[in-house]
Amino acid sequence: MPRYALKIEYDGAPFAGWQRQKTAPSVQATVEAALTRLEPDLPAIAAAGRTDAGVHATAQVVHCDMARDWDAFRLSEALNYHLKPAPIAILAAAKVDPGFHARFSALGRHYLYRLQSRRAPLTLDRGQVWRVNHRLDIAAMQTAAADLIGRHDFTTFRSTHCQARSPEKTLDRIDISATEIPHGTEYRFRLSARSFLHNQVRSIVGTLERIGAGNWPVEAMKSALDAKDRTACGPVAPPDGLYLIGVDYQPDPFAAIG
């Protein structure tokens, strides 16, 4: 059966996460329903990351096995037609080697977290960012974040429901930037690693917010990391502001697509 990689964008707000659920809508089930409109006996699809309820993606990657030898562009167009009106779009499709696996072939994953500081309630960005009504000290957050780079035991920043075999992960990058917006400031947190623990990004951002707000000292990040204790973590940031923005493969299955 020919195997295809799909690059997918979605608004996670209406869904109970990526993974198929028995009693709630999921991104996986919605994409699979569109695929079965093309081929009724389609096997289950696999994704690079199982995003939680309310989490978005600009570059989720999945693979699917089709009975027919589809032209990749026609496959993406057909899927986009059948996905209407769900807030999901197939950005690109590519035929890949049968050994390609969206999850296990991934060499790196990249996440963005958006946080806005403004007094007024959100309107256009509602459900897309985390809003706080106080400014944050970006220098303090950048200093605290530096303690997380490298390989560590991230038990403190791991959900109690995490199914990973080990709490040890290597965080390759964490960058924090601030941009002035009308009536406020948007802070952007970009994190990269080969893989992440369940709730790791949101736990880190929630802790950094407490430091940026001045409620916790800069040193609290290192203390929380060293504690290897979930109770040492700050509040978990809400899912609204989190986006899966990229997955690395070698070779890149979408490299030839403009």
Q: Can you give the pLDDT of all 258 residues of the chain as single tens digits?
A: 899 999 999 999 999 999 999 899 999 999 999 999 999 988 889 999 999 999 999 999 999 999 999 999 999 999 999 999 999 999 999 999 999 999 999 999 999 999 999 999 999 999 999 999 999 999 999 999 999 999 999 999 999 888 889 999 999 999 999 999 999 999 999 999 999 999 999 999 999 999 999 999 999 999 999 999 999 999 999 999 999 999 999 999 999 876
Neighbours of 41 (CB within 10 A): 6
- pLDDT score, position 1: 86
Q: Is the dihedral of CA 181, 174, 168, 226 positive or negative?
A: negative
For 243, residues 6+ apart whose C-beta sits below 8 A from its C-beta are: 55, 56, 57, 58, 111, 112, 113, 114
Delineate the domains of the chain, giving CATH numbers in brackets.
3-105 (3.30.70.580), 108-245 (3.30.70.660)
For 91, residues 6+ apart whose C-beta sits below 8 A from its C-beta are: 7, 8, 9, 59, 76
- pLDDT score, position 130: 98
**Assessment of whether the complete model's pTM goes beyond 0.85:** yes
Which active-site residues does the annotation give? 52
CB 242 within 8 A of CB 55: yes
- pLDDT score, position 159: 93
Neighbours of 179 (CB within 10 A): 10
- pLDDT score, position 258: 61
- pLDDT score, position 163: 85
